[in-house]
Amino acid sequence: MSEAVAFARRVGLDPETMLQAVSKGAAGSWALEHLGPKMLSRDFEPMFMVDLQQKDLRIALAAAFERSLPLPGTSLVQQLLTANQAAGEGREGTQALVKTIERLAGLA
């Protein structure tokens, strides 16, 4: 979702229109419906904080490591959220991930 917002901005699409179009199809989800608009309005009040998500990801990754189970997607998200924490955004909602994606894309 964060990447879709950044992509829309980069290619000149209206992010609001993109969210409306994507949410109506198979890509629709609770996160898209509730967090997508918050990203667009720059509302980073937490529904679930980055710091708490990181705690959960650490637990999941530790359990996976103990079982020799690779979780590359989970690991990547954990690293991206670490960038949010490094920017002082750990107490913001997980929708703040869009800020990290925007920084990486040179959009911030």
Structure tokens at 65: 């490591």
Q: How confident is the model at residue 108 (pLDDT cuts 50, 70, 90)?
A: confident
pLDDT higher than threshold 90 for residue 106: yes
- Global pTM exceeds 0.85: yes
* Each residue's pLDDT tens digit, 57-67: 999 999 999 99
Residue identified by tokens 């993109």 is: 18
Residue 43 near residue 52 (C-beta atoms within 8 A): no
- pLDDT at residue number 2: 94
- pLDDT at residue number 24: 85
- Structural domains for the chain: 2-104 (1.10.1040.10)
